[in-house]
Structures are given as C-alpha cells and as structure tokens.
Chains A and B, each alone.
Chain A
Amino acid sequence: GENVEQHPSTLSVQEGDSAVIKCTYSDSASNYFPWYKQELGKRPQLIIDIRSNVGEKKDQRIAVTLNKTAKHFSLHITETQPEDSAVYFCAASNAGNMLTFGGGTRLMVKP
C-alpha cells in the first residue's frame, strides 16, 4: 500500500518568513495530493491540492509543487502570519477517494 512520510514534524518561523513542508510517497500510481490544515481544536480542512498532471499550483500565499519522478511534493507558505499556525497534513491517493496521510507538521509562526 501507499506510504507517505512528512517532514519536518515541527517547524517554527518568524512572522513574514516562508515555510516549506515536504512529503514523499511510495506508490507511483498515486495521482492526487491534497494538503489539509488543522487549527487547534478544529477539524482538518483542505487548503490546496494538486494532481499528477500538474507540476505546481498556487493560491495566494500558498503553493504546492510536485515532482513525480522523485515522488515528492511540497507545501510552500510565503509571508507567514500568526493565523497560519496549525498542523498541516499531506496526503496521497491513487484511486477510489482513499487518502493516505503523512504524520503531520506543527507549524508555529512567531509574531
């Protein structure tokens, strides 16, 4: 089955700096890669996703890149703000809506 590894497990940045979270996956058939954000005490919510036919996708301050050859994808947050503090999960899916999640990254943005 699919295995997704996520790094780092914790990340602390100063407000205004950039943050990068990286994930690797094992199943070359995976073709959908979403990122979820979970604020403290709240449910995970989708923030951005990318499919295997696209190399990069941006949405305002967040972007995701995908390298299918190396089987890794990354989340980039620019100009970080305190409200970006949360746990971020990457995931991979190859069929049937089943997602395999990474272990999560706790991002702390210091004001």
Chain B
Amino acid sequence: DVKVTQSSRYLVKRTGEKVFLECVQDMDHENMFWYRQDPGLGLRLIYFSYDVKMKEKGDIPEGYSVSREKKERFSLILESASTNQTSMYLCASSDLQTTEETQYFGPGTRLLVL
C-alpha cells in the first residue's frame, strides 16, 4: 500500500518568511509532484521531479522552488511567503516504470500566510 506523507497538516507563517514543506513516499516511486489546491481551480501543478536532483516547472512555479536530494523525499520551498500563497498544498508520487499513471496523494498541508 502506497504511503505518501507530508510534514505538516497545518502551517501558519508570516509574510516574508521562508517556508519548507516536505513530502516523503515509501514506494520507491520515481515521480513526485507538488500541487496547490484552490476552490474552483482544481489542482495546479507547481513543480515535479522524475528523478533525484531533477526538477521540472509545472504550470505555476513562480514564487516556489523545490529540492529532491533523495528519491523518497521532495521538498517545496517558499523563499519569501506571500499572502497569495495561502492554499492547500498536495504532494503526490507515481511509478514511472509501470504503464499505470496513478498518482498517490499525501494528506495535504493547509498553509496560511498572514
């Protein structure tokens, strides 16, 4: 059973703070993703990674960076948090080796930037 965990369920930060969101998966998946979820906008891809130290921009990368130093861990970094980054952040992983493209999601981190 795939397990994707995220470091925090809820976070409150101040404008200008540096924020780290961590995601860990235990199924040796190559692909990992960071999305933000906002009402009416669905899930929008921020960044994804298909291998260690590899990253690709998604649809809304501005204001974010990522780090993947180990296969199981994918971090999302907000260098200087802003109020418009208040959102639900979801991490996901998938297996590149199979033909199934199912993405397995973490429980989400609800971030409030004051």
Contacts and interface: CB of A to CB of B under 8 A. Distances in A.
B101 A104 contact: no
A93 B58 CA distance: 13
Taking residues whose C-beta sits less than 8 angstroms from the other chain, chain B's interface range is 20 to 34
B74 interface: no
Contacts of B59: 1, 100
B105 A89 contact: no
A43 B106 contact: yes
A34 B105 contact: no
Interface residues of A, number: 24
A29 to B, nearest CB: 14
B101 A44 contact: no
Given A9-B40, A98-B48, A43 B101 contact: no
A53 B103 CA distance: 21
B103 A99 contact: yes
Nearest to B102: A46
B50 interface: yes
Contacts of B42: 4, 6, 89, 101-104
26 contacts: A4-B42, A9-B40, A32-B101, A42-B107, A43-B105, A43-B108, A44-B43, A45-B105, A46-B102, A89-B42, A96-B50, A97-B31, A97-B50, A97-B94, A97-B96, A97-B101, A97-B103, A98-B45, A98-B48, A98-B58, A99-B101, A100-B59, A101-B35, A101-B44, A103-B41, A104-B42
